[in-house]
Structures are given as structure tokens and as C-alpha cells.
Chain A
């Protein structure tokens, strides 16, 4: 990815950005997110099939914001998250430079969020047949069996919240799960607490999730929580006709109004 290194170096050189969020060599055969702040280190940037972590998660982290304006290496899942963050007014076009990467590993620049949307229109979210089969199998289970299935699958969850931390759309600085006056959902990682947590997470992401699977990839217990978000994605598409972020539309299921009459959400 010489092009990527050149573009990143040029951006840092001209001070158009102060940090490049990209992928570099990690432990053993892994890759990891790196934060390049000088031209010399740009050669550490790599991009290949191992680079699956969704870097958009760093755009809203206070530690990264402190480094200055970022350029971000953005394959398709990252582009989708950027667009969704834009829909939710978490970032503006002036906040970042996008070093887009096509599925053919070509560098592609996006000057505007609208141009990302145009590009993504030809790269739509599609749920694998393999997953569609599993999801319909689960949906067709009798209620008791389905309940038992999820209790068992969620049993290893010890609530490390890696799913939440890795998700670019879980950017709240305070999560409902940590409120204890009143306590909305059980904090403990027991069967009830685990069910409540994962149901809440899936519901909160319904109509917002862009199927990047960061949550599933982050889970140290490899719990198939992506089945929940994929299933929600299908439901939203079937019932509301949308599949993925769009600048012209509000979120399908969640909206925020500053003059909402309910006080608890402020």
C-alpha cells in the first residue's frame, strides 16, 4: 500500500491532519490500530485481509481526539460507520480526512459524506446465506427452546463489555447499564443480567447497526452476538425498508428531540 503511505505522509507533512489512524503490525500474526503522528512512521501503515478492526470507534474516543485532526484508513465497514456517525451528528466533514479503501484494496478519497453514501450504494450490506439460515432456524424455534438457546449461548458472558467498547456506535460516555439510581438493568453477569444486557444492546443498535461485526470479533468468549444485530438488521429492512445509513433519513427507530417532554433522557 505505497499509495496509502504516500497519502498519509503528505497529509501529516502539510499539517492537514495531525494523526493518521490506521493499521500496523501487531502481536504474532495479528494487526492492530496504530496512530501515526509523524511522516517517518507512515511506513508502518499496512493494509491487508487481517485488518478487520473497525477503526471508526476511535473517532469519538477522548484520548484520540486529543491528538488533533485525524485521517482514518477506511475500508467499507469503517466507511459505513463514518456515515452512520455523520447521520447521528457525531462528526462533521471538517473533523476528519478519509483514506478510503475499496474492496480491491485501492485507495479512494472522499471529500464529502454524500460521496461516501454514493459509493456505499454500490456496496450494500448483505447478510450471508449462512447467517440467514442460522437466524431463521432460531426464529422458528418454539419460544421456550429459543429462550433456552440464548440462555446457553450467553452463559459464558462475564460482561467485560468488549462488544460495547469495540462498537463505533456505542459512543455514549455513560451507559444505561451502569446507572444504579434507578438500576435499569441488572449489572451482574448472571443469566438474567446477561439477557437484559444483550437485548438492550441489540435494541439500541436496531436501525443503526451497520453489520461490521466489531462486537463479535471483540468478544473474548466468541459469543455469537452478531446474530442478534444481524437479525435486527433484517427486521428493520423488512418492516421499514432501510438497510444501512443514509444522510437524508433519520434513524429508523431512534430519534432525539431536544424538546422531548420526558426528562429522564436528558
Chain B
């Protein structure tokens, strides 16, 4: 319990430092949401200043930081000038979509990765191991967004199996019955989540295969085999529980990179989550929204990593106390 509290505090500290440093950096950023509209030569002098004052852009950085962090504690993230609504509103719309995308990809990718590693360990150094080894190497070597482009080219654009962009079909989707809307959503999720899942599966499989082969020399494995257990049972009931903890911890370390990959996937497939929000905000120089997007993706990564560490510790084999 104390370690749990320490872990949560640690995660909170990370988020605070990240929020502060991003805020400070953005103070040096050129331009603001008014630059394109009000800094032209045809705008009378003083108008720009008046509008900046109205939205608090004329305050000194220190006061802006205090106001911004004070509002943050209350769950407010400022006003998004490019979307004409609160940043918190934009985030509440976009965040669940990113969590859905990354969550589905993680679950499928993790399960598939474990399954691949089991097959490889079962047939160590025979052709299934070699073929799957080559495939997982390819899956790790090819960045998510490149795989996304290939999937989009063939599965989406050429063979027209899956939609290549957006959350839902065009038309009066809102009037459809709930389950049809759910299926439509999943159908649109197939390519982006599938691509991410392939990347995750490849990484998990490579770590898990090594971890499984590492424990297969242990005495308890020999004991299990000597009891007459089948090789699959040995792997599933004895090797895997002892080998899975470090893999989850490693996956936790890789999560920030996976969130980064998800950001690009969202951009490629027009999936309107935090990643796409980030790109839109950057192009519009909508800094409160940029700040929120960077902060939120970091929080997703930190939370997921804290969870992964916790799970890894919980899954780690415990020795019975010696009496």
C-alpha cells in the first residue's frame, strides 16, 4: 500500500514537472491565436492589443502561470481560440477516443504477442520459431506509421476492406440503433488499432520469447515435465506465470513511445483523438490546446506505465516465506 502511494505521488510529480516545463517553453514560442487575424498592416494600431488584453495575453508570464496552474487544479485548461470552446471540452471529447484506440490495440497486441511467443518457445529453433521470429523482427523494425501507410494503401484504398479515415460512416449515423453504431465504430477502428496492435504484438513477442526461453532451464520446469505434463501445459501454467512480469515492466517502459506512435496513427487515419488535436492546435498556434495535448498524452503514458509497473510487481513470482 505504501509503495502504491509512493508510486502515485511519483507519477503526479512527473506530471507537475512536465506541465511546468512545457508551459515555460511555450512562453518563448512565436505568435499567438491572434497573429494571423490582427497583426496585418490593415488593422488599426491598438486593436490587437485590446483583444490580447481581453483574453489575458498581455499578462506577465509569471501571473499567467499562476492563473493557468490554479485553473488546472480546478480541471480547467483554458480557452481554445481555434475551436471556440474550452480546452477541457476539447480534451473530454478527444481523450476517450485515444484511450479507446490505445486500449484496444494494447489488449489485442499483448494477447497476440504472448500467443506468438508461446508458439515460438514450444517450437524453439524449428521453422515456426524462425518464421515468427522474422515476422516479429519486421514488426519491430517497421515504425507504426509506415505500417499504417502500407495498410492504408492496400487494405483501405486498393481493396476497400476498411474505411481509411474518421470515426464513423458519413450520413445519418446518429439515428442508427446503438449496436449498429458500435459496429460502425469498430469497423473504423480496425485499421488504426490493428496497425498499433501489430507493432505491440511484435515487441511483446520478442521480449516474451526471450523470457520464456530464459526460464525453461529451471528446475521447476523439469519437475513439471517429469510429472508428465504436456509441453503446452508446462508453458502455460509454469513458464508463463514466471516469465510474464519482466515483459509487462518492459512494455511499461515502451509505452511513451507507443503513445507517440498512436499520435501519428491518429494523424494518418484521421482519428480525432489527442494526437490529431495536437496537430490541429500546432497549425493554428493554439498554445493552450498544444499545452493540454502534450500534457494529456504524457499523463496517458505515465498512468499506463505506473499501472504496468504495479501489475508487473503483482505478477512477479513470490516465494513462500521460509519458516
Is A bound to B? no
Chain A interface residues toward B at CB < 8 A? none
